[in-house]
């Protein structure tokens, strides 16, 4: 049995800790998230409903442009499997898109090479300057820029990085009239109401304005380049593409995913933490999050997988505590951040 290596009280069934927002434990030490039957029923209903609607949407819109879908491809296991699903199960013409955030493991890059060659698809890699990415991560780590509710599911740095992925994928889709953007999120990472949705840039820009203003004040005009879409493009585009998270429609364990992608040449990188299969800044992101909030940004996702019987509690704890110190120290040095700068939220 894997031992808790911190002294935090955790749910006996999942791994949510006493520091998680709005958590309560019953007399058996089981949390209110595990005990909320209604939440689980709503989620199952959302999945069933989304499955039919996604198939209809795909059938209605594919075959009309150069590509049917852009797949946001990080080189990690979940997006690798999403790419495979898009090509082999849904028969889509896809364009694979990778954001190089400056911290991608070299093994993940070689995985991207092998997988896109094996699947026979086009690949675009976008790399903002390392200086910009480090600046973005530094502000996201030090300043409390995001709503704490957003941060129950994701670290601030991951959220900043994914904002660039989403923006650049949306920009490309609008330029090329591609109807779909596919990402590899699972239901532990996103709410079941967002398995698929149509983009709306105006709405997004409005809600994100204060955050972008903060970034612009410190990072200048590069922020617009990577995180905004011009009015000109909005005017000439045929409409907003849909985002779909195909993996949410599959009932598949992590081991089964890995088994499916190994034949494509995918290899598990060794220079990442237990919660990532591609990114070397992740353990630092988790470290900052725990310092600020007292819980890991992966607790919700891993707990969700446990409740779905897709991961055991021991496996989840092992991942949670596999946070290599040398990775954390490496990023601290790159971003010039020390512990005294990290204040509680
Ligand atoms: Zn629980």
Residue 139 covered by a domain: yes
Residue 11 covered by a domain: no
- What is the average pLDDT value for the chain, to the nearest integer? 94
Residue 327 covered by a domain: no
Which one-letter DSSP state was computed for residue 219? H
Residue 29 covered by a domain: no
Dig out the tokens for 195 from the structure. Answer: 């398995």
Number of domains in the chain: 1
Q: How far is the CA of 82 from the centre of ligand 1 (A)?
A: 28
Residue 70 covered by a domain: yes
- Judge residue 124's burial from the number of C-beta atoms within 10 Å of its C-beta, 0-12 exposed, 13-18 middle, 19 or more buried: middle
In the predicted structure, residue 12 carries a pLDDT above the cut 80? yes
Q: How far is the CA of 15 from the centre of ligand 1 (A)?
A: 6
In the predicted structure, residue 7 carries a pLDDT above the cut 90? no
Dig out the tokens for 83 from the structure. Answer: 């790419």
- Judge residue 330's burial from the number of C-beta atoms within 10 Å of its C-beta, 0-12 exposed, 13-18 middle, 19 or more buried: middle
In our burial notation (b when 16+ CB lie closer than 10 A, e otherwise), range 42-67 reads: ebeebbeebeeebeebbeebbeebeb
Predicted pLDDT at 323:
97
Q: How far is the CA of 11 from the centre of ligand 1 (A)?
A: 5
Residues flanking ion ligand 1, Cβ below 5 Å: 11, 13-14, 16, 31, 34
Residue 342 covered by a domain: no
CA 298-181-247 angle, to 5 degrees, is 45
Per-residue pLDDT tens digits for 248-290 = 999 999 999 999 999 999 999 999 999 999 999 999 999 999 9
In the predicted structure, residue 174 carries a pLDDT above the cut 90? yes
215, 254 Cβ separation under 8 angstroms: no
Q: Phi and psi dihedrals of 90, rounded to 5?
A: -95, -5
Predicted pLDDT at 6:
72
> CA 322 to CA 137: how far, in whole Å?
22
Q: How far is the CA of 35 from the centre of ligand 1 (A)?
A: 7
CA 305-308-313 angle, to 5 degrees, is 55
In the predicted structure, residue 160 carries a pLDDT above the cut 90? yes
Predicted pLDDT at 37:
85
Strand ordering across the sheet containing 196-198: 122-126, 94-99, 69-72, 180-182, 242-244, 196-198
Q: How far is the CA of 117 from the centre of ligand 1 (A)?
A: 42
CATH code of the domain in which 258 resides: 3.40.50.620
> CA 227 to CA 33: how far, in whole Å?
34
20, 309 Cβ separation under 8 angstroms: no
Residue 120 covered by a domain: yes
Q: How far is the CA of 342 from the centre of ligand 1 (A)?
A: 29
In the predicted structure, residue 114 carries a pLDDT above the cut 80? yes
In the predicted structure, residue 226 carries a pLDDT above the cut 80? yes
Q: How far is the CA of 308 from the centre of ligand 1 (A)?
A: 12
Q: How far is the CA of 26 from the centre of ligand 1 (A)?
A: 10
In the predicted structure, residue 4 carries a pLDDT above the cut 80? no
Q: How far is the CA of 32 from the centre of ligand 1 (A)?
A: 7
Domain range for 176 is 50-278
> CA 149 to CA 144: how far, in whole Å?
12
> CA 195 to CA 42: how far, in whole Å?
13
Q: How far is the CA of 311 from the centre of ligand 1 (A)?
A: 14
Dig out the tokens for 311 from the structure. Answer: 């991961």
Residue 209 covered by a domain: yes
Q: How far is the CA of 12 from the centre of ligand 1 (A)?
A: 7
In the predicted structure, residue 227 carries a pLDDT above the cut 80? yes
């Amino acid at each position: 049995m894997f031992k808790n290596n911190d002294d935090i009280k955790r749910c006996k069934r999942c791994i949510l800790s006493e520091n998680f927002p709005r958590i309560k434990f019953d007399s058996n030490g089981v949390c209110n998230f595990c005990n909320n039957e209604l939440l689980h029923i709503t989620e199952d209903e959302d999945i069933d409903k989304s499955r039919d609607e996604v198939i209809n949407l795909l059938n209605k819109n594919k075959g009309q442009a150069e590509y049917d879908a852009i797949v946001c491809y990080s080189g990690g296991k979940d997006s690798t499997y999403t790419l495979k699903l898009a090509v082999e199960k849904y028969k889509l013409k896809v364009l694979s898109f990778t954001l190089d955030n400056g911290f991608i493991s070299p093994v993940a890059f070689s995985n991207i090479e092998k997988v896109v060659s094996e699947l026979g698809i086009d690949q675009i890699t976008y790399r903002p300057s390392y200086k910009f990415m480090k600046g973005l991560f530094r502000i996201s780590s030090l300043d409390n820029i995001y709503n704490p509710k957003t941060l129950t599911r994701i670290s601030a740095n991951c959220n900043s990085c994914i904002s660039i992925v989403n923006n650049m994928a949306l920009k490309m889709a609008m330029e090329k009239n591609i109807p779909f953007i596919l990402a590899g999120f699972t239901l532990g990472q996103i709410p079941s109401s967002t398995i698929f949705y149509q983009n709306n840039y105006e709405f997004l820009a409005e809600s994100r304005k204060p955050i972008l203003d903060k970034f612009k004040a410190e990072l200048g005009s590069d922020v617009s380049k990577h995180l905004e879409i011009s009015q000109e493009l909005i005017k000439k585009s045929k409409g907003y593409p849909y985002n779909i998270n195909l993996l949410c429609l599959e009932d598949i364990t992590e081991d089964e995913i890995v088994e499916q992608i190994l034949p494509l040449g995918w290899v598990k990188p060794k220079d990442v933490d237990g919660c990532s299969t591609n990114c070397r800044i992740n353990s630092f992101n988790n470290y900052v999050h725990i310092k600020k909030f007292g819980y890991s940004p992966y607790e919700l996702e891993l707990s969700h997988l446990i409740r779905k019987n897709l991961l055991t509690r021991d496996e989840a704890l092992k991942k949670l505590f596999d946070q290599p110190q040398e990775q954390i120290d490496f990023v601290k040095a790159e971003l010039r951040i020390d512990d005294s700068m990290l204040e509680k939220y």
